[in-house]
Amino acid sequence: MPSLFRRKSADLAAPATDPVTPEEESAEAARPRGYTPGKGRETPKRPVTGRRPAGAVKPLTKEEAKVQRRARRAEAAAEFRREGGPRDQGPERLLARNVVDSRRTVGTWFFGGALVVLIGSNQAMPPVVRLASNLLWGALAIGVVIDSILISRKIKKLVRTRFPNSGQRMGSLYLYAIMRAITFRKLRTPEPRVAIGDPV
């Protein structure tokens, strides 16, 4: 019967290793304490995608920064001119704008007429000129009122037909359309999308 102790000691015997030469011993002694032996292959580099460039970014001069700010402001103004702001959003507001933009309004002459009235009503002017200025002012005021009523009635009819479940307050919609109607066409924001006379 074979001895169990002999078999166990044979299994635990250390494998044979190559003898270490004196040159290898001296080289190992000369290595620093924290030395780690190489892996025998090159370490892969990290991907550079999404990383910042190694070179330093040149700071902008005052003139370049001013040009960039001016360009951003111009771009924002152009976008606002095309699309408008939060108060211009919604299909009902678009419909109101199209109603106003598709017709000639008395309100577009209101501010120009007000300037003429202001000059003509000066005390230095002859009485006839002052009277004509007052009549012009009254005619403009009456025209704006009538035009605003007609615009509001058309908007009310179209909104009830096309958006029967709309939650838009009609009073604010009328005021929105009237304020647009007394603004010069070229100064309206957002810019008109329909021409004068186009069906709405």
- Write out pLDDT tens, residues 69-96: 899 999 888 888 888 888 999 999 999 9
Question: Is 67's pLDDT higher than 90?
Answer: no
Residue 46: other Cβ atoms inside 10 A? 7
Taking residues 41-60, what's their average pLDDT? 61
- Contact in structure between 184 and 104 (CB atoms under 8 Å): no
Instruction: For residue 10, name the pLDDT band (cuts at 50, 70, 90).
Output: very low
The whole-number pLDDT of residue 167 equals 84
The pair of three-digit structure tokens given for residue 78, joined into one six-digit string: 């152009």
Q: Tokens for 12?
A: 């635990």
Q: What is the mean pLDDT of residues 99-103?
A: 95
Q: What is the pTM of this model?
A: 0.63
What type of residue sits at position 180? R
Which pLDDT score, from 0 to 100, does residue 156 have?
Answer: 95
* Helix-helix angle 127-162:110-120, to 10 degrees: 160
**CB within 8 A of 83, min separation 6: which ones?**
190
For the chain, percent of residues with pLDDT exceeding 70: 71
Sequence-separated (6 or more) residues with CB below 8 Å from residue 177 = 96, 97, 99, 100, 151, 152, 155
pLDDT tens digits, residue range 109-154? Answer: 888 888 888 898 888 889 999 999 989 999 999 999 999 999 999 9
Terminal Cα-to-Cα distance of the chain (whole angstroms): 111
What is the torsion angle, in degrees rounded to the nearest 10, for the CA atoms of residue 21, residue 27, residue 33 and residue 37? -80
Position 191 scores a pLDDT of: 92
| Average pLDDT, rounded, for the chain | 81
Return the higher-pLDDT residue of 80 and 175: 175
- Distances 157 to 119, 127, 134 between C-alpha atoms, Å: 40, 45, 35
Percent pLDDT > 90 in the chain is 40
Looking at residues 11-26, what average pLDDT do you find?
54
